[in-house]
Structure 1
Amino acid sequence: MTTPEAEVAQRPKPWYESFFGPDYLKQYAHTTTLQEVEGVAKILHLRPGSRVLDLACGAGRHSIELAKRGLEVVGYDLSEPLLKAARAAARKASARVTFVHGDMRDLPYHGEFDAVVNLFTSFGYFEDPKDDRTVLARVARALKARGKFLMERFNRESLATSLPSQSWQVRDDRSVILYEDTFDILRGRYETRQIVIDREGTREHRASVRAYTFPELKELFEEAGLFVHRVLGGLDLAAYTARSRRIVLYAVKGLEPEGIRTVW
């Protein structure tokens, strides 16, 4: 007879606890970071010295560029390997960023930030949607009154019609990464399977992200007291349509809009 503790230990760990490691760092060149941060800056329109929380900051590429613009930035992430890379990158760039390790469901902040950003599809990881509600409640709590929240992620309307897909990437070090992307219509989730082949052998990584529609996200935001003022088709400030590959939601804590704009 197994004990409850043993049963818990035998359960597979959530994908997001291991997915964001050394192999993840190799996958993305992120050549558009400067343009993305330019879009963030235009949307948020923050004064120098404003406090910004980069929620799920990863390797810190956005945190660092925001800090270079005179903002006081805190980067928050669950992945220790990515945070290690972020701290090294910040030192190299002479950028002052505070990087914090933690689970986004446990954000400890209360009314401290002028803005929170959540970029590159870093929401919807959890199996239970209640956890997503918890995250948004913590975001709202972390913001000052009339604080701003910016989320950028894949657009479900476009994603659902473009999958399944298969592709591969050959890197300079001769490693190969195979991608198999699918959309689970019954669970409403984007699923990816990635196989890395290099001199060290073959490794497989999987990820699963809940694919919310805009109306679903808007409702979740409002439950947390975050009201969407603008929805765009990317950080390039393109208009939002069903064909947009990305979706950007700009919300304000405690301030309802007269209407939601879909163009810049």
Structure 2
Amino acid sequence: MKNKDWFTEWFNTPYYHILYKDRNDEDAQVFMKNITEFLVLPKSTHILDLPCGKGRHAVFLNSLGYKVTGGDLAENSINNAKKFENERLTFKVHDMRKPFNNKYDAVFNLFTSFGYFDDDKEDLLILKNIKKGLRKNGYFVFDFLNASFVKDTLVSEETKIVDDITFYIKREIKDGFICKNISFFADDKQHTFTEKVKYLDSTKLTNYFTKVGFTITNIFGDYHLNEFDIKTSNRLIIVAK
């Protein structure tokens, strides 16, 4: 029997949301404001946020006046996000490896939600699906980590206590992946999960985009849309058409 993908299991546990509950919403909002203004997206724009998690980016984009659809593989995240739905904001369970039924004016892939798969073919398939799901002249906004910066600043071990749960975190770069091993004791049980994101540097990612037929219009290095610098930027943000 095929093993379940790590993200299907981990993202569907309540512990994932506990560990990351202090994620900075302000950063996310600054980025959404900056990028929508930079692209001069009219309010009629229909944006797909994929994967959308519990919907923090999608809800904020909707509050800026956009029509937004959020898609995510994790059912518990979608169930959680559904409470925010309105006439111009909807959420549905969707696996990025499957094509979309609709076409969108813009697709946003945010917060390192890519590079989860061992086979490059699956990564390329996701990009192909996104390209097919875009209307003519639609924008694709891709927000990934800067792998070179991660490699230079990797904290190999840390401990975090959230809601009385002690999370032991170990990080390493192994077999072409940036791995984060998370172990903790909760609900009378020891749990271990590993997050794996492919080590994709700017060269490899731009090759991916070109291969699929995207035209890259901009590359930024942070949420304030400063120029990308391979040594100092903490993000790699690609805008493509």
Fold agreement, TM-score > 0.5: yes
**Pairwise CA distance, 1:162:** 2.2
Q: Which runs of 5+ in 2 are unaligned?
A: none
Alignment correspondent of 1:169: 160
5 Å-filtered alignment, 1:67-82, equals 67-82=62-77
**2:180 alignment partner, one of 192, 209, 228:** 192
Alignment correspondent of 2:110: 119
Distance 1:120 1:38 in 2: 15
Distance 1:237 1:163 in 2: 23
Question: In the alignment, is the contact (CA less than 8 A) between 2:66 and 2:88 conserved in 1?
Answer: no
Alignment correspondent of 2:193: 205
Paired amino acid for 2:56: R
Query: Cα RMSD over matched residues?
Result: 1.7
Alignment correspondent of 1:137: 128
Partner SS, residue 144 of structure 2: strand
**1:231 alignment partner, one of 214, 219, 231:** 219
CA deviation vs aligned residue, 1:181-207 (integer Å, no higher than 9, x gap): 1111xx321111111333543311111
Question: In the alignment, is the contact (CA less than 8 A) between 2:160 and 2:166 conserved in 1?
Answer: yes
Partner SS, residue 106 of structure 1: coil
Alignment correspondent of 1:24: 16
Q: Which runs of 5+ in 1 are unaligned?
A: 1-8, 253-264
Paired amino acid for 1:101: V
Paired residues in the alignment total 236
Alignment correspondent of 1:247: 236
Q: Find out whether 1:44 has 2:35 as its counterpart.
A: no
After superposition, the Cα gap between the structure-2 partners of 1:130 and 1:214, relative to the gap in structure 1 and judged at 3 Å, is same
Paired amino acid for 2:91: F
Distance 2:90 2:99 in 1: 15
Q: Which range is displaced more, 140-149 or 11-20?
A: 11-20
Question: In the alignment, is the contact (CA less than 8 A) between 1:58 and 1:79 conserved in 2?
Answer: yes
**Pairwise CA distance, 1:44:** 3.0
**2:94 alignment partner, one of 99, 102, 127:** 102
**Pairwise CA distance, 1:164:** 5.2
TM-score, with length taken from structure 1? 0.84
Paired amino acid for 1:194: I
**Pairwise CA distance, 1:13:** 1.5
Distance 1:51 1:96 in 2: 9
Percent pairwise identity: 27
Alignment correspondent of 1:151: 142
**Pairwise CA distance, 1:14:** 1.5
Q: Which range is displaced more, 217-226 or 73-82?
A: 217-226
**Pairwise CA distance, 1:97:** 1.7
Distance 1:169 1:36 in 2: 26
TM-score, with length taken from structure 2? 0.91
